[in-house]
Chains A and B, each alone.
Chain A
Amino acid sequence: MGLYLHIPFCIRKCNYCDFLSFPADYDHQKAYIDALRKEIVLYSDMYHNEYYVDSIFIGGGTPSLLNIGLLRDLTKELTSGFDLAKDTEITIESNPKTLNKEKLEAYLEMGINRLSIGTQSFDNELLTRLGRAHSAKDFFDNYSLARKCGFLNINIDLMFSIPGQTMEHWKETLRTAADLAPEHLSFYSLQIEEGTPFFQMKEEGTLVETDGREDREMYHYAQTFLNEKEYLHYEISNASRAGYQCRHNLKYWSMENYLGLGLGAHSFMNGERFSNETDLKAYIKAGGIAEQPMGKNTSCIVSSPFTVWNHVNSREDDISEYLFTGLRKIEGVDLNEFHARFGESIKEVYAHNWNQMERYIREKYLVNTGNRLRFTKKGIDISNTILTEFIF
């Protein structure tokens, strides 16, 4: 199974961000980590004999802001509570300017073997527009430092469709990134989410969203360019060197078990989805009453004071999720596995709208090899429309 740990701290909030994060001093960090450790204890007893952990993702927020001592307490709690596979992928997310030699060496020493750096762009003007708290130089400094310290698996997050970003900017961004030869690259289209400063600016008319055609052109360019640079495009927004796909993120797209711990974290365990408290004070308070480890086979919504929502997937939920998550993978879904898992072929399950599927196949948005179903390049561009067909 995979473990996700949410660290909701940032220096400042970016203009496009609607994730859970806040600025925090040491005392706040400590109070939060104490509660998070309580949550780890709560679950470790329940799961440690049944599952072993082979991926850990420390995400945020900006986990690299976390005090080293607190992070060490946290990882110790994890390693003592759960059974970890030998080659467990352990990722920490970071932002440029927040890393230094001391931190990087400590990460490696704790067993963290994958570093993700969210730089988004190498253009200072665009970084300012996005509201990022760092410059391009901060990124280059941190990146080379991480290499020097011995990180062998680094991801860089890049963003396109930033208002004001031209195709030339984007090409330059990709070239620069490829020159650094990271093992993994994420490339996201900016989404303007409600409640963010960008959303407000868009409403006021001071921010013009990149149009759909340009968005797709940038995406298509990235697909082609990264392929030329021998990156394997393996998920809608992710590419990597062979063997360096992110094991943890693939669990999200393959209906595998993952336990999300920390503020607002989401889990999927044994066909049940559940998620945590999103209010920081309430989360910390829950830590105060989380005394007893949970017994086996107890419902987390009842036994965990951190959990606020759950949903036991129906067969239909499982089927639709298997497809709308699975098709994010460029290789698509295994139709034989589908049949084995759900006792019916995909065509039987979707008999009511299979005509529509066949139209998508005929018009080359989807490919059905008999063994696998996947999007074509142009299928990805309208993936949401196609995926809605799999919702019951």
Chain B
Amino acid sequence: MNSYQQLIRNFCIIAHIDHGKSTLADRIIENTGLVSHREMKEQFLDNMDLERERGITIKLQTTRLAYRAKNGKEYIFNLIDTPGHVDFTYEVSRSLAACEGALLIVDATQGVEAQTLANVYLALDEELEILPVINKIDLASARPDEAKLEIEDIIGIDAHDAPLISAKEGIGIEEVLEAVVEKVPAPSGDAGAKLKALIFDSYYDNYRGVVIYTRVFDGKVKKGDVIRLMNTKKKYEVTEVGVYSPGPMPVSELSAGEVGYICASIKQVADARVGDTITLDQDPTEEALPGYKKVQPMVYCGIYPAEGEKYENVKDALEKLQVNDAAFHFEPETSTALGFGFRCGFLGLLHMEIIVERLEREFDLGIITTSPSVIYKVVMNDGTEEMIQNPSNLPSPLLINHIQEPIVKADIMIPKEYVGSIMEICQERRGKMLHMEYITESRVALHYEMPLNEVIYDFFDALKSKTRGYGSLDYEFVRYEKSNVVKMDILLNKDLVDAFSMIVHESKAYNRGRFVCEKLKQIIPPHQFEVPIQASIGQKVIARETVKAYRKDVLAKCYGGDISRKRKLLEKQKEGKKRMRQFGSVEVPQEAFTAVLKYDDNK
């Protein structure tokens, strides 16, 4: 190992949402003198507005920092941020693989959360040095000793000398930096060996094409090299290598132990997948880095242009998003109710919400999303299998031998007083308890196997609502399992509206049907005739509501020839009508599609 390499520290920050990861990152950047306080936007690493607003990191950012330690030497810190949510586990694991150490931030007022734990386990799998840090010690409700104990009990690592800090107030930051120098190992690796570098993130840049974030393990890479991506087996010529500090800064080469970026005129991020190994085409390494996995969508929904929105606009926006998000899939589909649109695949519900929100806000599109669905494995009578993402495509029950649904292992952490109510909602959602453990005297971890279908419906909202926000959840796919699920349809005025169709477990169909009918009854305005709303399975109606007829729809008054007032009223009514979708003779407000999915505390 050369002396330069010995001064490198590659590390990341693991924390639960709101535990102060981004704030600590800001402080670290500030204290290393890279960016002046003046130039900083709040929370430097989260650079999408949406992320800053939601306080979560979706896309990774990485930054090279220079730190002069107390020992007088100047170190190079590569701070790699990790996404903080259940949907992005694989991305997290790859960015962890690029590091030698991880700062584990625990909120002194909250303790260890399920998501943190899940990521700590990922870090331990990658054999990272974990440095616990207790944050928010400035708050009156801080219980740093309990937080330390939790870390020791739950994770089993020594936390007695964990720095006590307040990222917000800038307390204890230097202690953290010194700990990084002392405890995080310098990267190993041989700069003279054949190139072996990991892609741990990538994004699309309008001018440079795909920018790959990489960690070089062995060898060197420079401009002009022809690289080969070992899993996709594609070749590209390197046009630029550099580091972020924080803006892109080209360097002559990246060598073993370093973290930086590579541009190679790659057209979309799907071609430079996270987890892939980069080597030189002329002189390739024998073996790729372990852990490559092509991430697959777990949750699907339909996205349709709302009334007055152009199909092409939605398509363009989806294409732009896909260029930057290898985990996001879409293909055209048609609905009799909603017309032409797209079936879109996501890693999970949060991923879906983020994409939908970006379409609405960044692209300013009017869209309708249909009920999210998992992928069902349908085993036909003739033994063939079909994977079904759209409830409307479910083959006739006569042709089906049985249906299998995806099961996940769900790890739930909650304060103990909520154990009863959370076990109840898990039970309601067909969860099977694997085991339960007391993490501390006051906190409990519940481990369940549960159909993903139930998790994506409203489980997370219910968990948050029942635990006043203190519950946390992590889940991973385990297997497909035979299940008694059925397709439930919604009929408005006797006409089936395919966009409302959903696949539900037989035991839940009655409740769900009633819930959807009640919601729609509240949302659909009165017509001049009665509008029956029915939920049905096959020919059998399982729930029914009626929107009573009549509304005032005549302007009886004339006001001294003020026609402009009449026009305004009609224009307003027309505007309101635009936000409606016409199904046969029934008008349904667009909110109906999301409203039927919302968790209802009172039900």
Question: Which positions in A face B, CB cutoff 8 Å?
Answer: 4, 6, 19, 59, 188-189, 191, 211-213, 215-216, 219, 236-237, 249, 251-252, 258, 260, 264-268, 273, 275, 311, 320-321, 324-325, 378, 380-385, 387-388, 391
Q: Which of B548, B566, B569 has the most CB of A within 10 A?
A: B566
Find the residue from B549, B556, B560 having the highest chain A CB count within 10 A: B560
Task: Scan B548-571; emit 1 where CB is below 8 A from any A CB, else 0.
Answer: 111111111111111110110111
Query: In the bound complex, what is the Cα–Cα distance between A59 and B560 (angstroms)?
Result: 8
Q: Is B528's beta carbon under 8 Å from chain A? A: yes
Q: Cβ of B562 and Cβ of A383 under 8 Å apart?
A: no
Given contact pairs A324-B566, A324-B570, A266 touches B557 in the complex (Cβ within 8 A): no
**Minimum Cβ distance to chain A for residue B537 (Å):** 32
- Pair A275/B574 contact, Cβ less than 8 Å: no
Residue from A188, A275, A385 in contact with B573 in the complex, judged by beta carbons closer than 8 Å: A385
Please report the number of residue pairs spanning A and B whose Cβ atoms sit closer than 8 angstroms.
Answer: 95
Given known contacts A191-B556, A383-B554, is B567 in contact with A321 (CB within 8 Å)?
yes
The verdict on A236 contacting B556 (CB below 8 Å), with A324-B566, A391-B574 known, is yes
A-B interface, 3 closest residue pairs, ranked by CB to CB distance from nearest: A212-B550, A388-B574, A213-B550
Chain A residues with Cβ below 8 Å from B574 are 388, 391
In Å, the complex CA distance between A387 and B566 comes to 11
Query: Per-residue CB proximity of B569-585 to A under 8 Å, as 1/0?
Result: 11101100100000000
Report the interface size class on chain B.
20 to 34
15 A-B residue contacts at CB 8 Å?
Answer: A19-B559, A212-B549, A236-B556, A237-B558, A266-B560, A266-B563, A311-B564, A320-B567, A321-B563, A324-B566, A380-B554, A383-B554, A385-B553, A388-B571, A391-B571
A237 closest partner in B (C-beta) = B556
Q: Are A388 and B570 interface neighbours, CB within 8 A?
A: yes
**B526 — which chain A residues lie within 8 A by C-beta?**
212
One of A212, A260, A264 near B551 (C-beta < 8 A): A212
Convert B222-251 into 0s and 1s, putting 1 for each residue whose CB lies closer than 8 angstroms to a CB of A. 000000000000000000000000000000
B564 touches A273 (CB 8 A): yes
Closest to A192 in B: B552
Closest to A265 in B: B560
In this complex, the member of B548, B556, B570, B574 whose beta carbon has the largest number of chain A beta carbons within 10 angstroms is: B556
Q: Contact partner of A216 among B550, B559, B564, CB < 8 A?
A: B550
Residues of chain A within 8 A (CB-CB) of B560 are 4, 6, 59, 260, 264-266
Q: Which residue of A lies closest to B554 (CB)?
A: A383
Closest to B549 in A: A213
Set A188, A264, A275, A381: member contacting B557, Cβ < 8 A: A188
A219 to B553, CA, bound (A): 12
Known: A191-B556, A380-B554, A383-B553. A266 touches B564 (CB 8 A): yes
Q: Which positions 526-554 of chain B face chain A at CB distance < 8 Å? A: 526, 528, 548-554
Question: Would A211 and B553 count as touching, CB distance under 8 A?
Answer: no
Q: Measured between alpha carbons, how far is A260 from B552 in the docked complex, in Å?
A: 29
Assess whether B567 is in contact with A381, with CB atoms less than 8 Å apart. Answer: no
Bound form: Cα–Cα A260–B557 in Å: 18
Q: Do A384 and B553 touch (CB < 8 A)?
A: yes
Q: B550 to A268, Cβ gap below 8 A? A: no
CA distance A191 to B553 in the complex (A): 11
A219 to B550, CA, bound (A): 13
Known A-B contacts A324-B567, A382-B528; the reply to A252 vs B553 at CB < 8 A is no
Given the known interface contacts A212-B526, A385-B573, A388-B570, the answer about A267 and B561 at a Cβ–Cβ threshold of 8 Å is yes
Q: How far is the CA of A95 from the CA of B550 in the complex (A)?
A: 33
Q: Is A387 touching B564 in the complex (CB atoms < 8 A)?
A: no
Q: Which residues of B contact A325 (CB under 8 A)?
A: 563, 566
Given the complex, which residues of B lie within 8 Å of A189, measured CB to CB? 552, 554, 556
A215 near B563 with CB under 8 A, answer no
Bound form: Cα–Cα A268–B563 in Å = 9
A380 CB contacts on chain B under 8 angstroms: 554
In the complex, the answer to whether B570 meets A212 with C-beta atoms within 8 Å is no
Closest chain A residue to B577, Cβ basis: A388
Using Cβ atoms and an 8 Å threshold, which residues of chain B touch A213?
A: 548-550
A324 to B569, CA, bound (A): 12
CA distance A383 to B569 in the complex (A): 13
Q: Given A211-B550, A265-B561, A266-B562, 13 other A-B contacts at CB below 8 A?
A: A19-B559, A191-B557, A212-B549, A212-B551, A260-B560, A266-B563, A320-B567, A324-B566, A382-B553, A383-B553, A383-B554, A385-B577, A391-B570
Q: Could you say which of A212, A219, A268, A273 has the most chain B C-beta atoms within 10 Å of its C-beta?
A: A212
Cβ-neighbour of A387 out of B557, B558, B570 (below 8 A) = B570
With both beta carbons as reference points, the residue of chain B lying nearest to A188 in the complex is identified as B556
Docked Cα-Cα span, A97 to B28, in Å, equals 83
**B-chain residues with CB within 8 Å of residue A381 when the two chains form the complex:** 528, 553-554
Q: Which residues of B contact A384 (CB under 8 A)?
A: 553-555, 569-570, 573
Q: A385 to B553, alpha carbons, bound, how many Å? A: 7
How far, in whole Å, are A258 and B562 apart by their CA atoms in the complex? 11
Given the complex of chains A and B, what is the CA–CA distance between A236 and B566 in angstroms?
14
CA distance A381 to B574 in the complex (A): 17
> Which residues 240-280 of B sit at the A interface, judged by CB distance below 8 A?
none
CA distance A6 to B573 in the complex (A): 29
Which of A236, A324, A385 lies at the interface centre, i.e. has the most chain B CB atoms within 10 A of its CB?
A385
Q: Report the separation of the CA atoms of residues A323 and B1 in the bound assembly, to the nearest whole angstrom.
A: 87
Measured in the bound complex, the distance between the Cα atoms of B528 and A378 in whole Å is 9
Residue of A nearest to B573 (CB): A388
